[in-house]
Amino acid sequence: MATAVMITCKIYPETAPISSELDTSWKTRWKTLKSLWAAAALFISVLGAIYTGFATPDEAAAVGVVGALLLVYIRGNLTWERVTYSFIDSAKVTAMIFLLLGAGYIFSTFLSTTGVVSTMTGWIKSLELSFFMLMVGIVILYLFLGCFLDAISMMVLTMPVLAPLITDFDMSLVWFGVVVVVMMAIGTITPPLGLNCFVMKGALGDDYALKDIFAGSLPFVFLMLITVGLMVIFPEICLWLPELMKSMR
């Protein structure tokens, strides 16, 4: 996607005009990189913990939290007010996620108990779709659901039905998980429930209309769909890093 943005800016410079007041020299760029050391250190600590076997991916999240606290402390911004706000905000988000997971678990149990999952799976199998046709249908399904549901709801509701279909084609669930994550990311920028677009609107205020933000996100939807297509055709794109990490264990 970054390459596509660069090419677009080269062909159509008016899409990303450079302000005459902005210093874009390489000297300024290198100086600006110094302010990114904190984010780089946090990134390296989390991935380093996973790669060295010091922590599992779940435990690495805790490493990231501790690292973030240390960075805030080093910068002198660690106050009780900030910590209290962070705890309260985290509690709200956690409660929402667990409520969704709990409801999704009940729904998944209902589907399994009533035989809906096995019936739907059997019906789709009876269509004798090829693998690529099945993936086209899955992409269309997620594009539709992304207009109305958040990412966690989509995942909880669809996995009980789709996961058995993927395993029947002897495809990796890790690969399918990456594809689903990209499709859920597309859902965050498609109307009417594009949460990321609403966040952008809140940050930009009245400078830009919401419809302009959604229109601006449309090219990225196509780019991510191309990415999904490449991952379907070449599954190794998604699997080489997990395989590398597994070999380093």
Which region among 73-77, 225-229, 230-234 has the lowest average model confidence (pLDDT)?
Answer: 73-77
Pair of tokens at residue 29: 């760029």
Band of pLDDT at residue 100, cut at 50, 70 and 90 = low
What's the pLDDT tens digit per position in 148-162?
A: 777 777 787 788 778
- Nearest in space to 139 (alpha carbons), one of 126, 131, 168, 2: 131
Residue 76 per-residue DSSP state: T
pLDDT in tens, 123-145: 777 777 888 988 988 888 888 87
The residue whose two tokens read 């660069």 is 6
- Average pLDDT score over residue span 75-104: 79
For the chain, the average pLDDT equals: 81
Note the pLDDT of residue 108.
Answer: 64
Query: Cα dihedral angle (166, 170, 174, 178), rounded to 10 degrees?
Result: -50
Residue with tokens 């080093």: 74
pLDDT in tens, 27-60: 887 877 777 888 888 889 888 888 788 888 888 8
What gap in Å lies between CA 106 and CA 103, rounded to an integer?
A: 5
Report yes or no on whether pTM surpasses 0.75. no
Q: Assess whether the previous peptide bond of 192 is cis (omega < 30° from 0).
A: yes
